[in-house]
Amino acid sequence: MSALPLMLLFLSAVALTFQSCKGKSKSNNLSAATDSLSDDALMDTVQRRTFLYFWEGAEPNSGLAPERYHVDGVYPENDANVVTSGGSGFGIMAILAGIDRGYVTREEGLARMERIVSFLEKADRFHGAYPHWWYGDTGKVKPFGQKDNGGDLVETAFLIQGLLAVHQYYINGNEKEKALAQRIDQIWRDVDWNWYRQGGQNVLYWHWSPTYGWEMNFPVHGYNECMIMYILAAASPTHGIPAAVYHDGWAQNGAIVSPHKVEGIELHLRYQGTEAGPLFWAQYSFLGLDPVGLKDEYCPSYFHEMRNLTLVNRAYCIRNPKHYKGFGPDCWGLTASYSVDGYAAHSPNEQEDKGVISPTAALSSIVYTPEYSMQVMRHLYDMGDKVFGPFGFYDAFSETDNWYPQRYLAIDQGPIAVMIENYRTGLLWKLFMSHPDVQAGLTKLGFNTNKQDVRQK
């Protein structure tokens, strides 16, 4: 992004209620301003600013989300033009919410979605699955790792989750909107989920490479962030997996059930490699998939399970066994993000807790813990421009290390805007869940919903 648009972005951002946020010298004034904002006004300020990451900050050719955005323009890996498939799935849901709220016009939104779909129709795919990264100007795969230069089924699922919401938004619209929905339907039908069973096994594999084949060798078992992949694979009208792949592969014939307590809070599921995972495990699959009342034979309530996982994360940060500065009831949230040591999947245990707070963790949990998440939102907003910039809250910070990088990651920004919208109106949940293929997939796997299982507020 050139200096001029960035300056304009900052000027427009100022108009969005950030006038008094100039650092610690003005913290009292900002606190007063924040106190005067209603919850809805504060949520809208945060949602609007985060939406800008995917609107103003989009890679120009593809219209997709850049993997990362650094305010200082310094990219050690020279990857400013690299776009991300999963983060873009989250981003197009954030854009949908922005269209619906009038942040941009419906015509502007449709034009952006058409640009995105045109890119996806031509970009590198591998048996219908997209890679983790592309070069935004060419659509050619950028390897995520040496052997990870092909299809990434998990990131594809995150992208498809967003595209199916877009499909439902436009399917009953005008002729141009209906035409776009039909193009999205073809992308959805082209994903060969069965190929990623590696020879018909009852499990899905994360990666396949045209040069390295199955050498990544990563069968996906639960529980983690990948549940949406199995649901979409079952839902596919063209390459749908048998239900046994979910039961044998994801749930491992019931081994996914492992009742235990962490921080005195009950969890029902087994969390891969840890007692309680990072908070993106409670978020990525549920941006479109509505957890309220959702259950199957392995979990009596996915909403309450994810709520408890969030409460574990909060309770750990309040206990703060490593005595980090700033941790507490108004500043909690551990998840995968930038870190003082590069990038890390921060989790509520002493080994993986590096004293780094990632705003996306608590803010994207607002559907589960609204009062507690709003407490964090207000506190972070009061911290001023140390943590709040042109595209919303920066990715991560550490008060202990006096570390406040002005950097963003798409896969963290997206859930903030999407989950705020889901808390406010349920828009993305309603769209995704209304897709008939999604409903068929849930039925196939034995899921059901009971809306009497209402959210606890």
The tens digit of pLDDT for each residue in 221-245 reads 999 999 999 999 999 999 999 999 9
Residue 9: what pLDDT? 38
Residue 36: what pLDDT? 78
Find the helix or strand (DSSP H, E) in which 69 lies.
strand 68-70
Residue 450: what pLDDT? 77
Number of CB atoms found within 10 A of residue 23's CB:
11
**Percent of all residues in the chain with a pLDDT value above 70, rounded to a whole number:** 91
Residues 6+ apart with CB under 8 A from 393: 46, 50, 359, 360, 363, 380, 387, 416
Tokens in use for 145? Answer: 């790792």
Task: Round to whole Å and give the CA distance between 212 and 148.
Answer: 8
Buried b or exposed e, range 370-389, using 16+ CB within 10 angstroms: bebbbbbbbbbbbbbbbbbb
Residue 22: what pLDDT? 32
Of 122 and 31, the one with more pLDDT = 122
Task: Round to whole Å and give the CA distance between 379 and 372.
Answer: 11
The rounded mean pLDDT for the chain is 92
Domain segments of the chain as ranges: 50-449
Q: Which residues pair with 296 in a beta bridge?
A: 299
- Chain centre distance of CA 336: 11
Side chain identity at residue 70, one-letter code: H
Kindly tell me the number of DSSP H helices and DSSP E strands found in the chain: 15, 14
Q: In this model, does residue 23 exceed pLDDT 60?
A: no
- Per DSSP, the residues of 1-33 read --HHHHHHHHHHHHTTT-TT--SGGGHHHHHHH
Nearest to 407 by CA among 57, 112, 9, 21: 57
Number of CB atoms found within 10 A of residue 263's CB:
18
Task: Round to whole Å and give the CA distance between 277 and 275.
Answer: 7
- Chain centre distance of CA 44: 18
Ordered alpha helix ranges (H), 255-340: 302-319
User: Beta strand 448-449 with 294-295: parallel, antiparallel or unpaired?
Assistant: antiparallel
Q: In this model, does residue 254 exceed pLDDT 70?
A: yes
Task: Round to whole Å and give the CA distance between 87 and 65.
Answer: 6
Helix (H, G, I), strand (E, B) or coil at 86: helix
Nearest to 159 by CA among 213, 118, 117: 117
Residues 6+ apart with CB under 8 A from 28: none
The tens digit of pLDDT for each residue in 351-391 reads 999 999 999 999 999 999 999 999 999 999 999 999 999 99
Sequence-ordered strand ranges (E) for 168-241:
207-208
Per DSSP, 246 falls in state I
Residue 449: what pLDDT? 86
User: Beta strand 82-84 with 407-409: parallel, antiparallel or unpaired?
Assistant: unpaired
- Residue 253 burial (C-beta neighbours within 10 Å; 0-12, 13-18, 19+): exposed
Tokens in use for 235? Answer: 């839902």
Number of CB atoms found within 10 A of residue 123's CB:
20
The tens digit of pLDDT for each residue in 405-447 reads 999 999 999 999 999 999 999 999 999 999 999 999 999 999 9
The tens digit of pLDDT for each residue in 81-136 reads 999 999 999 999 999 999 999 999 999 999 999 999 999 999 999 999 999 999 99
Nearest to 67 by CA among 52, 82, 46: 82
Q: How many residues does the chain have?
A: 457
Ramachandran assignment for 56, one of left (phi > 0), alpha (psi -120 to 50 degrees), beta (any other): alpha
Helix (H, G, I), strand (E, B) or coil at 192: coil
Residue 152 phi, psi (nearest 5): -120, 105
* CATH number for the domain running over 50-449: 1.50.10.140
Residue 452: what pLDDT? 62
The tens digit of pLDDT for each residue in 202-213 reads 999 999 999 999
**Percent of all residues in the chain with a pLDDT value above 90, rounded to a whole number:** 89
Find the helix or strand (DSSP H, E) in which 382 lies.
helix 370-382
Q: How confident is the model at residue 11 (pLDDT cuts 50, 70, 90)?
A: very low
Side chain identity at residue 4, one-letter code: L
For range 261-284, the mean pLDDT = 97
For range 142-161, the mean pLDDT = 97
Task: Round to whole Å and give the CA distance between 337 and 403.
Answer: 14
Residue 33: what pLDDT? 55
Tokens in use for 166? Answer: 């877009």
